[in-house]
């Protein structure tokens, strides 16, 4: 990429003026973006790390060393929360990918009406997440919610089921909603990737007598694998960090059953205003996500090399 | 084409599968609409009934009384998302150009730094963000909901627009230079007009991002009712014993309608914007 700039410099030379050095100009152009990131992401990140070594509250703060971390790592509940968060992430992301892949395959099929179907998949994605979740909260309602109602209608349960009131059902209900929020985007990404696969590959395979399933497995999947893999990472990060879905549905309850790291951090830092302890949790999240992303990118690299060669 | 030909049963199977897929996607909307049409007293009756013969638009009239600021919330939502989009684009356009065309020290390193921002969300950085916004006097103002949103949307914006700008032929810029135009003039008068379709695509996807995430910053950094966006405004009414669900659903659907209609017209750009980054690799 370094060579791309050459012609412009040469052209400027031709015009006989002394231009501003290219690197100055470049940094000038990047400056607004840098200022935003600096103030809103970089500095707060540094500040979070500093705060995690203090006992900051609204009143004031003192340096306490690693006390917040020691307390956190000694708490068995914390490990449960970490485990739950990863379980939440892995399950929700896998489901998003599977449902999204099925959806993209359906929307990619040559059937009349597919243009309309592609539009109909979009609504959850173009509304505020919280609005869709409010709709789900109603559907999960035990007294008059749709799901409880339908389950009774079909005789699957006796009496009402308040899905958000028991630990297990609340967790899986939150997953179903999270998958719902994330699926349209995954679907549209995978659909775009499928449409980018060269027709020639399919035709060649078809001429050789390969069936639909074989073509899907041996052409479509490998060809869109890089998109699947990068989609998985993005979804994983978003799902890990997902706040409003759980907050609106259950606020982390019942009895902590849906408390992920983000919810726990919010409760400690914002609701209880124990800034120091909250910051320590935030740092743990950042470290876990960084390690996870790096490990993942390492795998991605291998996958790309494996599939990208052709 | 021959190889795409489906027999009857395959077609029927595909339609059935598509129906169930779309049912999952659209069910909450269908249910919200159904609930919005039913009187509260009937919603709460002992037995669940799917259909009822007393559907009415009453909730759509009452909601304005129950949620007096509803109109305000809807406008706030659109205003905040638009402001975030405008500010994000101001930062994204020059930066994307720099990464698409110029060579400078720390080029890839700084781009990687921008992309690493995607790893964070506001939720992790709330405490210091709160303090930053407080010291800037921005708490309980629109800025408290706009500024953090901008920062988290810049990286993806740069990434999307950069790949678009790289496709614009370089010769046009070179011609401008030969004619004696400055770099800034070339960017403003040559590159930006050529990049309009790409700008629309990126702005659309930034807007969606800004519109979707209007909850956390609003409930954390703002407690002035008049300034709340729709989700935060409605959240206040949700989850109580006497929540008038039919009106809340009516309000939620009415609230998202303007933007959804707008996107129906833009859906071509929408999909292109969303997927531009993915297909490139």
Q: According to the per-residue pLDDT averaged within each range, which of A252-261, A266-275, B16-25, B160-169 is highest?
A: B16-25
Residue B169, token pair as written in the block: 């032929």
Between the alpha carbon of residue A168 and those of residues A24, A164, A258, the distances in Å are: 57, 9, 9
Residue B19, pLDDT > 90, answer yes
Mean pLDDT confidence for B58-79: 89
Between the alpha carbon of residue A142 and those of residues A41, A151, A158, A255, B236, the distances in Å are: 41, 11, 12, 18, 21
For chain B, percent of residues with pLDDT exceeding 70: 89
A128 to B114: CB separation less than 8 angstroms, yes or no: no
Query: Sign of the C-alpha dihedral, residues A63, A64, A65, A70?
Result: negative
* Digit-coded pLDDT (tens) for B212-264: 888 889 988 998 888 999 999 888 887 676 778 888 889 999 999 988 888 87
Buried b (16+ CB within 10 A) or exposed e, B18-43: beebbeebebbbebbebbbbbebeeb
A193 to B104: CB separation less than 8 angstroms, yes or no: no
B241's CB contacts (< 8 A; 6+ apart) are none
Measure the CA dihedral A122/A124/A125/A129, to 10°: 170
A106 to B91: CB separation less than 8 angstroms, yes or no: no
Residue B280, pLDDT > 50, answer no
**What is the distance between the alpha carbons of residues A15 and B180, in angstroms, rounded to a whole number?**
6
B21 to A99: CB separation less than 8 angstroms, yes or no: yes
Instruction: Give the pLDDT score at A97.
Output: 95
B103 to A1: CB separation less than 8 angstroms, yes or no: yes
Residue B142, pLDDT > 60, answer yes
**What is the distance between the alpha carbons of residues A114 and A96, in angstroms, rounded to a whole number?**
21
Q: With contact defined as beta carbons under 8 Å apart, do B81 and B73 qualify?
A: no
A286 to B235: CB separation less than 8 angstroms, yes or no: no
Q: How confident is the model at residue B146 (pLDDT cuts 50, 70, 90)?
A: very high
Provide, as residue numbers in chain A, all residues whose Cβ is less than 8 Å from the Cβ of B178: 11, 14-15
DSSP A274: -
- Closest-CA distance, B40 to chain A, in angstroms, reads 11
Residue for token digits 């002992």?
A: B46
The three state secondary structure string of chain B is: CHHHCCCHHHHHHHHHHHHHHHHHHHHHHHHHHHHHCCCHHHHCCCCCCCCCCCCCCHHHHHHHHHCCCHHHHHHHHHHHHHHHHHHHHHHHHHHHHHHHHCCCCCHHHHHHHHHHHHHCCHHHHHHHHHHHHHHCCCCCCHHHHHHHHHHHHHHHHHHHHHHHHCCCCCHHHHHHHHCCCCHHHHHHHHHHHHCHHHHHHHHHHHHHHHHHCCCHHHHHHCCCHHHCCHHHHHHCCCCCCCCCHHHHHHHHHHHHHHHHHHHHHHHHHHHHHHHHHHHHC
A63: three-class secondary structure by DSSP: strand
Residue B71, token pair as written in the block: 């109109």
Q: With contact defined as beta carbons under 8 Å apart, do B36 and B62 qualify?
A: no
Which range has the worst mean pLDDT, A225-234, B198-207, B263-272? B263-272
A286 to B124: CB separation less than 8 angstroms, yes or no: yes
* Digit-coded pLDDT (tens) for A261-278: 999 999 998 888 888 899
Q: How confident is the model at residue B279 (pLDDT cuts 50, 70, 90)?
A: very low
Bridge partners, residue B70, by sequence: none
Nearest to A20 by CA among B106, B192, B186: B186
Cβ of residue A300 closer than 8 Å to a chain B Cβ: no
Q: How confident is the model at residue B274 (pLDDT cuts 50, 70, 90)?
A: low
User: Nearest CB to A146: which of B31, B131, B187?
Assistant: B31
Q: Which residue of A has its CA nearest to B34?
A: A146
Between the alpha carbon of residue B99 and those of residues A190, B84, B109, the distances in Å are: 27, 22, 11
Residue B94, pLDDT > 90, answer yes
Across all residues in chain B, what is the average pLDDT? 84
More confident position, B86 or B261: B86
pTM for the model stands at 0.86
Which range has the worst mean pLDDT, A302-306, B61-65, B163-167, B227-231? A302-306
A14 to B131: CB separation less than 8 angstroms, yes or no: no
- Closest-CA distance, A227 to chain B, in angstroms, reads 6
Residue B2, pLDDT > 70, answer no
Across all residues in chain A, what is the average pLDDT? 84
Q: Which residues of chain A have pLDDT under 70?
A: 1-19, 142-144, 155, 158-160, 303-304, 307-310
Residue B184, pLDDT > 70, answer yes
A237 to B180: CB separation less than 8 angstroms, yes or no: no
Which of left, alpha, beta for B180 (phi over 0: left; psi -120 to 50: alpha)?
Answer: left
Q: Which residue of B has its CA nearest to A126?
A: B208
Instruction: Give the pLDDT score at A3.
Output: 42
User: Nearest CB to A138: which of B4, B231, B249?
Assistant: B249
Instruction: Give the pLDDT score at B131.
Output: 84
**What is the distance between the alpha carbons of residues B24 and A179, in angstroms, rounded to a whole number?**
10
- Closest-CA distance, B115 to chain A, in angstroms, reads 11
Q: How many CB pairs under 8 A join A and B?
A: 328
Q: With contact defined as beta carbons under 8 Å apart, do A181 and A123 qualify?
A: no
**What is the distance between the alpha carbons of residues A76 and B109, in angstroms, rounded to a whole number?**
39
């Amino acid at each position: 990429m370094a060579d791309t700039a050459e012609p412009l410099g040469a052209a400027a030379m031709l015009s006989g003026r002394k231009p501003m050095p290219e690197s100055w100009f470049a940094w000038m152009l990047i400056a607004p973006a840098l200022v935003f990131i600096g103030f809103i992401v970089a500095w707060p990140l540094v500040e979070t790390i500093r705060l995690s070594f203090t006992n900051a509250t609204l009143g004031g703060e003192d340096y306490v060393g690693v006390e917040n971390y020691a307390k956190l790592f000694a708490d068995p509940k914390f490990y449960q929360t970490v485990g739950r968060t990863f379980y939440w992430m892995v399950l929700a992301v896998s489901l998003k990918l599977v449902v999204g892949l099925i959806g993209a395959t359906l929307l990619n099929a040559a059937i009349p009406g597919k243009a309309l179907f592609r539009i109909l998949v979009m609504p959850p994605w173009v509304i505020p997440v919280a609005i869709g979740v409010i709709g789900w909260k109603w559907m999960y309602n035990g007294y008059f919610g749709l799901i409880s109602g339908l389950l009774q209608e079909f005789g699957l349960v006796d009496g009402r089921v308040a899905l958000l009131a028991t630990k297990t059902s609340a967790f899986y209900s939150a997953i179903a909603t999270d998958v719902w929020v994330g699926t349209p985007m995954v679907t549209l990404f995978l659909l775009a990737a499928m449409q980018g696969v060269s027709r020639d590959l399919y035709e060649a395979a078809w001429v050789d007598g390969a069936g639909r399933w074989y073509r899907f497995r041996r052409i479509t999947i490998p060809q869109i694998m890089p998109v699947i893999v990068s989609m998985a990472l993005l979804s994983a990060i978003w799902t890990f960090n997902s706040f409003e879905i759980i907050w609106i549905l259950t606020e982390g309850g019942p009895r902590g059953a849906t408390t992920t790291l983000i919810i726990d951090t919010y409760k400690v830092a914002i609701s209880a205003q124990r800034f120091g302890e909250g910051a320590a949790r935030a740092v743990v999240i950042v470290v876990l996500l960084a390690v996870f992303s790096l490990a993942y990118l390492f795998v991605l690299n291998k996958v790309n090399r494996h599939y990208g060669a052709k | 084409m021959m190889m795409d030909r489906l027999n009857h049963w395959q077609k029927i199977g595909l339609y059935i599968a598509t129906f169930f897929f779309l049912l999952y996607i659209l069910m909450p909307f269908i249910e919200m609409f159904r609930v919005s049409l039913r009187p509260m007293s009937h919603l709460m009756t002992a037995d669940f009934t799917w259909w009822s013969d007393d559907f009415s638009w009453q909730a759509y009239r009452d909601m304005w009384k129950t949620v007096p600021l509803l109109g305000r919330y809807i406008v706030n939502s659109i205003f905040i998302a638009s402001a975030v989009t405008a500010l994000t684009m101001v930062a994204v356009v020059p930066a994307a150009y720099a990464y698409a065309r110029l060579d400078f020290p720390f080029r890839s390193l700084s781009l990687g730094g921008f992309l690493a921002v995607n790893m964070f969300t506001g939720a992790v950085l709330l405490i210091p963000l709160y303090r930053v916004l407080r010291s800037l006097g921005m708490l309980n103002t629109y800025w408290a909901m706009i500024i953090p949103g901008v920062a988290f949307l810049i990286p993806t914006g740069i990434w999307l627009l950069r790949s678009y700008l790289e496709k614009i032929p370089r010769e046009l810029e070179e011609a401008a230079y030969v004619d004696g135009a400055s770099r800034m003039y070339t960017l403003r008068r040559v590159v930006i007009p050529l990049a309009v379709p790409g700008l629309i695509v990126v702005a659309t996807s930034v807007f969606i991002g800004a519109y979707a995430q209007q909850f956390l910053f609003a409930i954390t950094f703002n407690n002035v009712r008049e300034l709340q966006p729709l989700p935060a405004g409605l959240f206040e009414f949700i989850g109580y014993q006497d929540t008038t669900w039919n009106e809340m659903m009516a309000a939620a659907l009415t609230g998202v309608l303007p933007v959804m209609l707008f996107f129906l017209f833009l859906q071509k750009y929408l999909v292109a914007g969303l997927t531009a980054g993915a297909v490139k690799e």
